[in-house]
Amino acid sequence: MPSQYAAPALVVTGSSSGIGRAVAARAAKDGWSVFGSVRSEQDGADLAREIDGAFTPLVFDVRDQRAIEHAAAQVADALGSRTLGGLVNNAGIGLAGPLLHQPIEEFEAVLDTNLTGTLRVTRAFAPLLGTDPKRRGAKGRVINMSSIAGKVGQPFAGAYVASKHALEGFSEVLRRELALYGIEVIVVAPATVDTAIWQEPESAIGRYATTDYGDAFDKGVRTIVAAARRHGMAAETIGKIVMHALTSRRPRRRYAPAQHPLLEQILPRMTPSRISDFVVEHALGLVDRSRRSSR
């Protein structure tokens, strides 16, 4: 079956907004044929009008196996016998809460979306990337969108941190396993990015007021949201980095962009844990209550 597209093709999950939208827009501008996952037909139609270039919406949730398989079949039909140039696993959620109190179903939803969803999508599109020997063309690349949370644990972001720590290990294993097919796996793990994802934790302010974490939780959420909006990178910057990772002859295994690399990426990982704990705990008021009361 002949391909409908002469340009390299890319699949981006979570393309409705934020980093996913920025990647889709940048790729289309660079001449790629882009397939982007959206949650509704209306989202897809709006995005197709806004993006300047070849954009095809795919309506699926990364937790819906049947919908993912249907989307993979759509892309396969469009590609004909060609390979898919890239898969950007970007879809994710970040529900906040203290680990002792956050509803288990919320914790599970974050893991299911950010980690298991990545596996579902990667499995479905792997034949198009080149595990199917009948496909012609260069092998595609997998870009897994992680975060600084994949290396650093921020209080009250336990579900998100767990999902991104797991994604880092998952990506390392996937990279080594897909070497069998010549498919590269690359992690892009930015520090704070100014996107709509921060609306999720912000909406939870006041939710845990009746617990011991009430004040600390609200303060922590307000602090990180304010920092993201004031100092977060633009999603368009991450879009450029993702496209570099997809097209560079020798891409890095992991990209960790930050507005302030020393403060955001390097120091948090180099500072001894006891010092980091002391700073974070005192900044948020997470100090042993029995010690406070005995003073």
Which residue type occupies 20? G
DSSP secondary structure letter of residue 82? B
| 156, pLDDT greater than 90 | yes
The CATH fold of domain 9-293: Rossmann fold (3.40.50)
Alpha carbon distance 124, 65 (integer Å): 9
CB 123 within 8 A of CB 142: no
Handedness of CA 236, 242, 246, 247 (dihedral sign): positive
| 7, pLDDT greater than 80 | no
Report pLDDT digits (tens) over 69-97: 999 999 999 999 999 999 999 999 999 99
Which residue type occupies 78? A
Does the active-site annotation cover 5?
A: no
Specify the pLDDT at position 270. Answer: 85
Confidence tier at 2 by pLDDT (50, 70, 90)? very low
Give phi and psi for 63, each to the nearest 5.
-95, 0
Sheet containing 86-89: give its strands across: 55-59, 33-38, 9-12, 86-89, 141-145, 184-188, 254-255
Report pLDDT digits (tens) over 19-64: 999 999 999 999 999 999 999 999 999 999 999 889 999 999 999 9
Report pLDDT digits (tens) over 251-271: 999 999 988 777 778 888 888
Alpha carbon distance 14, 92 (integer Å): 7
Alpha carbon distance 242, 149 (integer Å): 18
| 217, pLDDT greater than 70 | yes
Over the Cα atoms of the chain, what is R_g? 20
**The model's pTM:** 0.93
Specify the pLDDT at position 4. Answer: 60
CB 203 within 8 A of CB 152: no
* Structure-block tokens of residue 257: 């962009």
Specify the pLDDT at position 1. Answer: 42
Alpha carbon distance 287, 86 (integer Å): 46
Q: At what angle do helices 158-178 and 117-126 cross, to 10 degrees?
A: 20
Q: Is 57 exposed, middle or buried (0-12, 13-18, 19+ CB in 10 A)?
A: buried
Q: Of 160, 208, 213, 255, which residue is the catalytic one?
A: 160
